[in-house]
Amino acid sequence: MSSFRIAVFASGSGSNFQAILDHVNQQKLDIHIELLVCDRPGAKVIERAEKAGIPVFVFRPKDYISREMYEQEIVNELQKKQIDLIVLAGYMRLVTDTLVKPYYGKMINIHPSLLPAFTGLDAIGQAYKYGVKVTGVTVHFVDNGMDTGPIIKQEPVDIHEKDTIEELEQNIHKVEHLIYPEVIELIAEGRVRLEGRRVSLYPKK
């Protein structure tokens, strides 16, 4: 079993979580998913995790006085599990310093656009409505802003004239499910270096 331990944060159906899990199960990704963190009891991603025997930490944000309070509880869980990397995969909440400070450079997010274009919610819809010819997928380190952290890897996705938004969503998700496990592998193998805003990727030795 790999000694590189990740926690996945998700709020919805968990398609990216499943893609990562599939890569692990197919021995394409040598890491261990130690924990799923979810802020929505009843989300389908919980079912996916439980089926795979992965521990789940579920919470309701409204049960806490502040975001910092539930994030501190999350940090406690992460430290218990000795997590090496936090992987945000459709986690629909901004994070505060409570989480960012202890895990800066060890927390990544995936966003369905070529950042810095189309930040925030509904990035696919934003790009489609704007009429751009190329959008894509970005994996970046997480900082205090909304989709503003240092960029690790980007992959373009063409928008063809006759594409529906549903077809564009499918094309984006296909790329997400390939690029995210690739980046996790790069980090697990120590092939990613963060210096300021610049991220360098290194080949296998």
Q: What is the pLDDT of residues 106-132, one digit of tens each?
A: 999 999 999 999 999 999 999 999 999
Instruction: Return the pLDDT at 204.
Output: 83
Q: Is 160 part of the annotated catalytic residue set?
A: no
Amino acid 205: pLDDT = 75
Task: Tell which CATH architecture fits domain 1-103.
Answer: 3-Layer(aba) Sandwich (3.40)
Q: What pLDDT does 84 receive?
A: 98
Who contacts 156 (Cβ-Cβ below 8 Å, separation ≥6)? Answer: 114, 134, 135, 136
Q: Which residue is catalytic, options 23, 111, 140, 177?
A: 111
pLDDT at 1 over 70: no
8-22: average pLDDT = 97
Which of helix, strand or coil describes residue 10? strand
- From-to residues of CATH 3.40.50.170 in the chain: 1-103, 109-205
Q: What is the mean pLDDT of the chain?
A: 96
Average pLDDT over residues 179-201: 97
Mean pLDDT, range 43-69, rounded to an integer:
96
Whole-model pTM: value is: 0.96
Phi first, then psi: what are they for 64, rounded to 5°?
Answer: -115, 150
Q: Is the pLDDT of residue 179 over 80?
A: yes
Going across the sheet that includes 32-38, the strands are 56-58, 32-38, 5-10, 85-88, 107-111, 134-141, 151-158
Q: Tell me whether strands 198-201 and 192-195 are parallel, antiparallel or unpaired.
A: antiparallel
Mean pLDDT of 63-82: 96
- 168-178 pLDDT per residue, tens: 999 999 999 99
CATH number of the structural domain 109-205: 3.40.50.170
Buried b (16+ CB within 10 A) or exposed e, 60-75: eeeeeeeeeebbeebb
Predicted local confidence at residue 2, as pLDDT: 59
Q: Among all chains, which residue has been given the structure tokens 């959008």?
A: 135
